[in-house]
Chains A and B, each alone.
Chain A
Amino acid sequence: MELLANLATGFGIALSPFTLMLAVFGCFIGTIIGALPGLGPSNGVAILIPLTFSMGLDATSALVLMTAVYYGAMYGGRISSILLNIPGDEPALMTTLDGYPMAKAGRAGDALVISGVASFTGAFLSTVGLMLLAPLLARIAFQFGPAEYFALYLLAFATLGGIASNNQAKAAIASCIGLGISMIGVDNNSGLPRLTFGNMHLFDGVDFLVAIVGLFAIAEVFFFIESHGKNTSIGVKLEKITVPWKDIWDTRWTQLRCSLVGFVAGVLPGAGASLGSFLAYMSEKSLAGDKAGFGTGVAKGVAAPEAGNNAAAGGALVPMLTLGVPGSGTTAVLLALLMTLNITPGPTLFTERPEVVWGLIASLLIANFVLLLMNVPMVKVFVKILSVPPWVLLPGVTMISFVGIYSLSGSYFDLLLMVAFGVLGWVLRKLDVPTVPIILGILLGGHMEDALRRAMVLSDGDWTYLFSSGIAITLWIVAVAGFVAPMFLRGVLKKPQRITD
C-alpha cells in the first residue's frame, strides 16, 4: 500500500511538535479571521504570508501553517453568518440564509454546532478525496500541453470571474486589469522589457504578493478608516451550548451529499468554495422540496452550505497541487506562496517533493480534528473575539503588511507599489468591481500568455492547434458555459438583504 506508506511519511512530518504547533496556531488564527466580517480566507492568508517569511519557515511548515489558516477560516466564516447575518467570508454567504433565522429563533448554539459538525464532515471527506485523487490527477497532467493549459487558464478566468461578482462585465474588467499588470516586466518570449518605463525595479514584473497584500489587506485598512470601525456589535445573544444530536443525525445524508458536491466544485479550477456552498444549498433545497422550509432556519439549511464550502476548500487544493492552477481565490494566494518558496506545483510535485505534499495532507487531517474541537466546545471564545475593537485590529494588519512586504525584497519601491494597490483596491471596491479576478490575472496572466505563445510556436501560428485535443475542447466548452451561466443564475445569486427589525 503505497498510499499508507506515503501517509505514514506525512504523519511523521506533521506530528513533529513544531509542525503540530503551527497547525493548531493556524487553526486558531484562521477561525478568528474567518469569524471577523470582511476578513475571509483569501485576505487572511494574504495578510499572514509575510509572517511565514519573517519566521523563516521552510516550505512544509509554511504550507502547513497557511492551509491550517485556510481551513480555519472556512470553519470560522459561519460564526458571523449565524450570529450577525454578515458572512464572515464570501463562501459563508449561504449559511446566513438559514443560520440567522435559526439564531433569531433562539437556537444560535444549535446552529453553530450543526454547522461545525457539517464543516468537519465536508473538510474531512474532501481531504480524503484529495489524498486519493491527487496522485491520479498528477498523472493526467502529462496530457497537458500548451493548448490544454491555455484552455485551462481561460476556464479559471471564466468561472472565477462569474462567481466573484454579480456583474459579468465588472468581473471581466477586473480580469483585464490583472492581465495588464501581468504584462509588466521582461517578456519571456522575446527578452524585451514591457511597460517598465526603464525602471529596473519593474523588470521582474509586479510581485503578486505585493499586489495581494495591497489589494486585500491595505484596502481593508482604508475601509476600516472610512467606516470608523462600525458594524462589529453582536446582534444575537448566545446562551449555553448543547449538542443537538438529533439534528446532526437527521442531516447525515445532507452532509455526505453536500461534501461530494462541494468537492467536485472545488476541484474545478477557478470555481471554489462559494460555488461549492451555493450548489450544495441549492441542490439540497430542490431535493427537500418546499415543505422542508429552507430559508426559515432549518438544520439542513445550515448543514448543507457548510459541508459544501469546506469540502470545496479541500477540493480546490487538488488542481493547485497537481496542475499549478488554483481552484479558488485562496488557493490562488497559496499558489503565490508556493512559488515564492521555490516550489513549482505541478505534475512533478508529488514525485519531487513528497514530503511537502504528504506532510500537508497529514496536517490537514490533524487540523480538521483540532478545528472540530475548537469550533464546537470552544466556540464561545471566538464569539467573544468578534467584539475585538477595530482600533486594535487595524494597526496590527498595517504593521504586518509593511514589515512583511519589506522583508520580502528589502525594497521601498515594493512598499510604494503596495500602497498604490491598496488605493486601487479601495477604489475598485467602491465601484463594486471584484478584486479576486485581478489577483488571478496577475498570477496566471503570464502563464496564460506563455501557453498561448508556446502553442503558436509549436503549431507555426495555426490557431486550430488550440482545439486539437479532446481535453482542450472540453475545457473550452466548460469555460464558455461557466462564463455565461451566472448571467442566468443572477437572480438566485443575489446577496441576502440584511434583516432589520
Chain B
Amino acid sequence: MTKRLFKALVTSAILGMGGATAAGAAECIAPANPGGGWDFTCRQIGKIMYDIGAVDKPVQVTNMAGAGGGLAFNHVVTERKDDADLIVAASSATSTRLAQNAYAGMTADQVRFVGAIGADPGVIVVAADSPYKNLNDLIEDVRANPGKVAFAGGSAVGGFDHIKPLMILQRAGINDVKAIKYIGVDGGADAITQTVGGFTQAMTGDMSEIVGFLKSGDVRALAVLTEERVPGFEDIPTAKEQGIDVVAVNWRGLYIPKDVSDETFNMWADRLQAVADSPEWKEAMAANGLAPFTKVGGDFQSYVDGVVAEIRTLSKEIGVIQ
C-alpha cells in the first residue's frame, strides 16, 4: 500500500508540473477534473490520434478545473494564444457559457473552434404514465396553459437543458419563453425522479442520462433532438419528423488558441477527421452513449457561431443575461 501511495504522490507531483510540457508533444487541456466528459474527450481523442499516427508523440493531458471551464479558457486566451501544439476539450456547455458571458467577459471569438466528433443527443422525456404521447401533445398543452407544464433538467437555469425545450417551443410558435417553468436539479437522474414523482411534467436532458430509466420502463421519450433517429434507439422519433426542426446535441469537440496560422487550424481539423473515421473512435462512442456528429474546420466554426448567437438571443429573452 505504501508503495502505491508513493507512486500516487509521485504521479500527482508530475501532473502538477503538467504546464511545463516538453516542446514538440501536443498538449490537450481538459478544463475539468479527471473523470468527466471533457477529460474523456482529451484522453480518448489524444490516445487515438497517437494510435493512428496522426501525431508522432503521445498527447499530454492536463486537467485544469475551475469556473466551469473558465479558468482554462482564460489560460488559453491570455498565456497560450499562439501555441500551435495546444488543443482544449470543449462541448455544448462551453458554447452555452460563452454565449451567456459566464467566462467573465471572454467571448467565443477569442479562440478557434476546430471540430466536434460525436455528440450526446438531446431528449425530451415524460413519465411512463404521462398523458403526453408525442411531442405535439406536450407543445399544445404548453400553448393552452404555459404555467401548467414544468420541465426538469440537469443543468442550471439558462443551461443547455433549459435551452432545449425553449428552442422547441419557439419553433412551434410559442414566443413567451419566460412563462415556461424550468427547474434545474442535480443531474439527469434527479430530473427524472422529479418527473416520475409528478412534481414536473417533462424532463429535458441527454440520451446517456435516460438509458437506464428507459430500460426500467419508468419513462417514455417523446423526441430525440437529432437530424436522424439514433442507432440503437430507433423507436424514439426525432423532433424533426414531428414537424419541429430542432437539432440540439451535447457535442464533444476541441478548440485551439486564436493566433495560430490557418495551416495549423486545418492540420488539427484533418487530425480530428482522421480520429472520427477510425474504428477505435466508433468503439469509444458506442461505449459512452455518443451518437455520430462530425463537423470539423470552418464548417464547425460557423456552426458554433450560429449556436452561440441563438443561445444568446434566447438567454436574453429568459433574462439570464441582459
Q: Interface residues, chain A, CB within 8 Å of chain B?
A: 21, 25, 51, 54-56, 141-146, 186, 188-191, 198, 200-201, 203-204, 342, 344, 346-348, 351-352, 403, 406-407, 409-411, 447, 450, 454, 457-458, 460
Contacts and interface: CB of A to CB of B under 8 A. Distances in A.
A145 B197 contact: yes
Nearest to B152: A454
A406 B197 CA distance: 41
B71 A344 contact: no
B320 A411 contact: no
Contacts, number: 113
The 9 A-B pairs at the shortest CB distance, nearest first, are namely A145-B199, A203-B67, A454-B183, A188-B156, A407-B12, A142-B197, A348-B189, A200-B67, A191-B158
Interface size class of B (residues with CB under 8 A): 35 or more
A403 B65 CA distance: 18
B171 interface: no
A205 to B, nearest CB: 10
A189 B157 contact: yes
Interface string B10-49: 0110011000000000000000010110000000000000
Nearest to B100: A191
Nearest to A346: B190
Contacts of B212: 348, 351-352
Contact of B193 (A142, A189, A201): A142
B165 to A, nearest CB: 14
B74 A200 contact: yes
B66 A204 contact: yes
B157 A411 contact: no
A186 B187 CA distance: 17
Contacts of A51: 5
A409 B65 CA distance: 7
A307 to B, nearest CB: 33
Contacts of A346: 189-190, 193
A160 B70 CA distance: 37
A56 B212 CA distance: 27
Given A142-B196, A458-B199, A351 B216 contact: yes
Contacts of A189: 156-157, 184
Given A191-B157, A200-B71, A457 B183 contact: yes
A458 B199 CA distance: 8
B104 A198 contact: yes
B104 A56 contact: no
A310 B196 CA distance: 36
A348 B193 contact: yes
B287 interface: no
B147 interface: yes
11 contacts: A188-B184, A189-B184, A191-B158, A200-B70, A203-B68, A203-B70, A204-B68, A342-B35, A346-B189, A348-B192, A458-B181
B285 interface: no
B157 to A, nearest CB: 5
Contacts of A198: 104
